Amino acid sequence: MTKLDDHTRRDLEALLPLIEKTFPIPPRFRRGLGNDVAELSRLLTSARGERALAYLNRPPLLSAYLYYFLPWNLYRLCRLIPSLDLPLAPGDTIIDLGSGPLSFPIGLWLCRRDLRAVPLKFRCLDHSRGALEAGKKLFAALYSAAQPAPRPAGAAAPQGEPDCPWAITTIHGDLGQFHSHMREAALVTALNLYNELSQPISPGNDAGQRRFADKQAALLSGFAAGGGRLLVVEPGTPPSGRFITLLREALIGQGRPPLAPCTHSLPCPFPALRPPAAGRDTKWCHFAFDTEDAPAGLHRLSAAAGIPKERATLSFLLAGPQGPGQPKHGGPQSPAEQKARIVRVISSPFPARADGQAWGRYACGEQGMVLLRGAKTAVEAAEPGTLLAVRSTGERDPKSGAPVVTAP
Ligand SMILES: C[S@@+](CC[C@H](N)C(=O)[O-])C[C@H]1O[C@@H](n2cnc3c(N)ncnc32)[C@H](O)[C@@H]1O
What's the 266 CA to ligand 1 centre distance in angstroms?
31
336 φ, ψ (degrees, to nearest 5):
-65, -40
Distance CA 102, CA 69 (A): 13
What's the 96 CA to ligand 1 centre distance in angstroms?
10
Nearest protein CA to atom 26 of ligand 1, as residue:
100
**Which of 40-49, 119-128, 206-215 comes out lowest in average pLDDT?**
40-49
Instruction: Return the percentage of the chain with pLDDT > 70, whole number.
Output: 89
Res. 148 pLDDT band, cuts 50 70 90: low
- What local confidence, expressed as pLDDT, does residue 407 receive? 85
Distance CA 175, CA 237 (A): 23
Q: Where in the chain is the domain with CATH 3.40.50.150?
A: 6-319
pLDDT tens digits, one per residue of 55-102 = 888 899 999 999 999 999 999 999 999 999 999 999 999 999 999 999
- CATH T-level fold of 335-406: OB fold (Dihydrolipoamide Acetyltransferase, E2P) (2.40.50)
CATH of domain 6-319: 3.40.50.150
Res. 369 pLDDT band, cuts 50 70 90: very high
Distance CA 379, CA 349 (A): 7
- Which carries the bigger pLDDT value, residue 407 or residue 214? 214
Ligand 1 atom closest to Cα of 65? 9
- What local confidence, expressed as pLDDT, does residue 27 receive? 85
HSE-CB for 348 with a 13 A CA cutoff:
8
Res. 408 pLDDT band, cuts 50 70 90: confident
Mean pLDDT of the chain: 89
Ligand 1 atom closest to Cα of 197? 16
pTM score, whole prediction: 0.91
Ligand 1 atom closest to Cα of 176? 19
Nearest protein CA to atom 4 of ligand 1, as residue:
100
CB atoms within 10 A of CB 67: 23
Instruction: Identify which of 196, 219, 223, 232 to mutate to test ligand 1's pocket (most ligand atoms within 8 A of the CB).
Output: 196
Instruction: Identify which of 45, 126, 177, 316 to mutate to test ligand 1's pocket (most ligand atoms within 8 A of the CB).
Output: 126
Q: Find the residues whose C-beta lies inside 6 A of ligand 1.
A: 56, 70, 73, 98-100, 103, 125-128, 131, 174-175, 191-193, 196-197
